[in-house]
Structure 1
Amino acid sequence: MAAVAEDAVLAERVDAYFAPLASHADLSGTLVVMRGEQPVLVRHYGHADWPARRAHSLATRYSAASVTKSVVAATLVQLERAGTVSLDQPVGHWLEPLADRPGMSLRAVLHHSAGLPRDLPDDFRTGEADVATWLAAHPRRLQAPGKERYSNVGYALLAEVVARASGRPFAEVARDRVLRPAGMSDSQVALETADHFADGALPYTAGPEPEGVMTPVPAPLEIGSSGLVATAPDLARWARTLADGAYPELFVDEDPLGSIDTGQDDNGDYVSVQGTLPGYSANAIAWRDSDLSVAFAGNLFDYPVLRMGKTLRGLLGPTPPAPPPARPQAVPLADAHRARAGRYAHPDFGTIAIAEVPGRGGMTLTMPRQPAYWSFHLTPIADGGLHWRAFGVVFRAGDAGGLLASPAEGGEATPVPAATAAPAP
């Protein structure tokens, strides 16, 4: 870590940035900075189980969400090296229901350019139903290959390819060919989230006072697009494995396979992976020309996790990020807050609906055009405003009875256009 001379300096930076967030229930999870296999900085925030006040540890496991995609890609590379598959084969070579889709290659699916939909329906359960059969039965969900279109469905499909080509469950193949060789002995791919396992952290999202957290609406688990359950050190080991060049085949094209990110900062070229699920987040970064890696694994979906990768790189760089501003003070729910109920056209999120849901702690924001797990608590603040903590956005009453959206990271408030801000029928 050339840009930071002493680990003590890094510890001061980390504490100055994260401790205030944790003190207001805006952060929960484990942070680990490693040099090779040696942790040089470890911090735990919040609780693995909030009601029980169970502490996090380096053995605590978290759902790593889309980090699973990089494991899928590496597993396919291992099978290609063994001569079992070719990334240029059509998916239909292995999955008969899609045999009439010759343009849908494994590589195109890895690149999110196979014309597949983003998500499976809420009632679909991978492991209980067949993704390829479902796609064949819903051809209108498919588009022509070529255009990049992010698809969780695609990686669930690739997990089925791995199982068919190897004759073994995807989780077993990934464990033996990818996770264990990477030293990830405390990690596995599973049909359940981390809270179903020993040492698993329970999931939370931003919630009402005084606790400040609540249980999220769960998302359907799509094995392949998600399913990895890992510790923070294991996530750092996975980023290190990728940065050390164990899978050069993933980096041949301009965009790496497996939803992996690459870039350059003051510490050099880096490789990073990240993922989020309702109640969980995972970020891991490793630099190619050093033995430095960092990972944060969390069990609280709140606005700090949206910038976690950038935050971690900033803390390990020459100029640390400015501490985040304090979030607005919560006040008791009043009629002025209830008056904000209605449907709105938000400039960034599309159609949103605000309603009082007492069983969820008061005012709740949902997205009618999105799955049910897009459900968030809104904290009542002064002057009838509502704070959408999960995305760091403040809604305030506008002159025309609409809403103003103001990012919690700072900046001027941007009015929602009057034509779309008024509550819609």
Structure 2
Amino acid sequence: MLLAGFVVLLASACAGTPPRASPSPAMARLAEDPAMAGRVDAYFAPLAAHADLSGTLVVMRGDRPVLVRHYGYADWPARKAHTLATRYSAASVTKGVVAATLVQLERAGTVSLDQPVGRWLPALADRPGMSLRAVLHHSAGLPRDLPDDFPIGEADVAAWLAAHPDRLQTPGKERYSNVGYALLAEVVARASGRPFAEVARERVLRPAGMDDSQVALQTADQVPGGALPYTAGPEPEGVMTPVPAPLEIGSSGLVTTAPDLARWARTLADGAYPELFVDEDPLGSIDTGHDDNGDYVSVQGTLPGYSANAIAWRDTDLSVAFAGNLFDYPVLRMGKTLRGLLGPAPPAPSPARPAAVPLTASHRALAGRYVHPDFGTIAIAEVRDRGGMTLTMPGQPAYWSFHLTPIAEGGLHWRAFGVVFRPGEAGGLLASPADGGEATTVPVATAEP
């Protein structure tokens, strides 16, 4: 990834609101040209028509929406439409808010990112190598997730880690950790003497103009104006309620609107937090890059039933965001899609996905345990109260559960990841991209995971 220079960012931050260069003629045209709306509709409308997309897309110039599209429904059974005020869970986008909150506290002299976590959470005082910066970088040796039954909001993450030293590894190697950001939320609360959500709202969300956003120990469906969550499901509706993930705060918890999501990306691109971009990889699970439109900052996150993507380019006031309430294969490449739709070579519309057919004995014959090269052990079984054939991942949290759509010739379509399973050799499977591509062998699992 190409990073903007720290010196340039720091100079801009010290000067107040950084000046913006005039957008390139191509970028200026895209924000006002009806052809851009045509590109967006050509790509997204067919996906929405087949229940593969649900949410709000907004393109903004500065703080002004210049293109808005709503797909699917905020509440599918009630056919309740999305609006610009509809709120969505933004999942890992929260991590950037945590990082920015810590930067604000460091600027105030309250904390230092190079302090050990144990300075604020005594339960981890015997871990001097576990600095706030290392936790922000996912390199503190922390586990990925808390147990599904961890009573977040009631129990102390630091105390749990201290009681389970076997879950800790030697700091240094990057290892993605949601636990780490839950820990950082506790650091913010301890250092400030106030709940993390209050500090984040006051010091980060409000200054960014994110007045319709909050950090909460709730998902969007539990707050006023929130969209209900869905995942790819059985026909005829094509969507279903997902198995929920455990509640989190710090690693997740941000509930926001599509315009506010775009404002967050714009805040980062405008240089409000240069401290997050000092190292090769930005802090807070934020991404940077370069494309035909110049240097950009992007954020993304997914939860069962929700997705959030936003991009803002540094040399223009143009930003784009998609906030959704349906986990299906288009969200996996949403960042790339959004950049492409605003670029000189927009992506071609996705081919129609395989049509669903009635479930037969041929489909049921694919039930079993297999070893996927990317996902590890997977289990396929008929689960009638979940609408038919279901894929789970033994050893993973319960929310890793996905409907498989029966298609022609005995195949099963894993819509959430755009994969088609068909019978393979020796009782195994062949897994192929639904939009075409080389098949991967998925052998039978020979032992319990």
TM interval, shorter chain, is over 0.9
- 1:31 counterpart letter in structure 2: L
Query: What residue number does 1:263 align with?
Result: 289
Query: What residue number does 1:214 align with?
Result: 240
Query: What residue number does 2:115 align with?
Result: 89
Query: What residue number does 2:271 align with?
Result: 245
TM-score normalised over the length of structure 1: 0.98
The alignment covers a number of residue pairs equal to 422
- Over residues 292-334 of structure 1, what are the superposed CA-to-partner deviations in whole Å (9 max), with x where a residue is unaligned? 0000000000000000000000000000011111110100001
Query: What residue number does 1:35 align with?
Result: 61
Query: What residue number does 1:226 align with?
Result: 252
Contact 1:280 1:298 in 2 (8 A): yes
- SS at 2:75 equivalent: coil
Query: What residue number does 1:254 align with?
Result: 280
- 2:438 counterpart letter in structure 1: E
* Matching of residue 139 in structure 1 with residue 165 in structure 2: yes
Query: What residue number does 1:304 align with?
Result: 330
Query: What residue number does 1:421 align with?
Result: 444
Gaps in structure 2 of 5+ consecutive residues: 1-22
- 2:444 counterpart letter in structure 1: A
* Matching of residue 149 in structure 1 with residue 172 in structure 2: no
Within 5 Å, give how 1:58-97 maps onto structure 2.
58-97=84-123
Change (3 A) 1:424 1:144: closer
Q: Give, in angstroms, the shift of residue 375 of structure 1.
A: 0.2
Change (3 A) 1:70 1:392: same
- SS at 2:312 equivalent: strand
After superposition, the CA RMSD in angstroms is 1.1
What is the identity percentage for the equivalent residue pairs of Structure 1 and Structure 2? 87
- Whole-Å Cα distance in 2 between the matches of residues 233 and 268 of structure 1? 22
- 2:142 counterpart letter in structure 1: L
- Whole-Å Cα distance in 2 between the matches of residues 348 and 40 of structure 1? 40
- Whole-Å Cα distance in 1 between the matches of residues 360 and 222 of structure 2? 38
Query: What residue number does 2:137 align with?
Result: 111
The structure 1 segments of at least 4 consecutive aligned residues displaced by more than 2 Å after TM superposition are: 1-7, 420-425
Q: Give, in angstroms, the shift of residue 186 of structure 1.
A: 0.1
Q: Decide which of 152, 166, 185 is 2:211's aligned counterpart.
A: 185
* Matching of residue 366 in structure 1 with residue 392 in structure 2: yes
- Over residues 333-360 of structure 1, what are the superposed CA-to-partner deviations in whole Å (9 max), with x where a residue is unaligned? 0111111111001111110000000000
Change (3 A) 1:399 1:140: closer
- Over residues 140-188 of structure 1, what are the superposed CA-to-partner deviations in whole Å (9 max), with x where a residue is unaligned? 0000100000000000000000000000000000000000000000000
- Whole-Å Cα distance in 1 between the matches of residues 428 and 196 of structure 2? 49
Contact 1:236 1:285 in 2 (8 A): yes
Q: Decide which of 298, 318, 321 is 1:292's aligned counterpart.
A: 318
Task: Compare 5-14 and 99-108 and name the one that shifted more.
Answer: 5-14
Task: Compare 24-33 and 125-134 and name the one that shifted more.
Answer: 125-134
- 1:213 counterpart letter in structure 2: V
Q: Decide which of 380, 394, 406 is 1:354's aligned counterpart.
A: 380
Query: What residue number does 1:319 align with?
Result: 345
* Matching of residue 15 in structure 1 with residue 38 in structure 2: no
- Whole-Å Cα distance in 1 between the matches of residues 56 and 238 of structure 2? 19
- SS at 2:246 equivalent: coil
- Over residues 2-26 of structure 1, what are the superposed CA-to-partner deviations in whole Å (9 max), with x where a residue is unaligned? 4353431110100000000000000
* Matching of residue 339 in structure 1 with residue 365 in structure 2: yes
Query: What residue number does 2:9 align with?
Result: none
- SS at 2:45 equivalent: helix
Contact 1:28 1:45 in 2 (8 A): yes
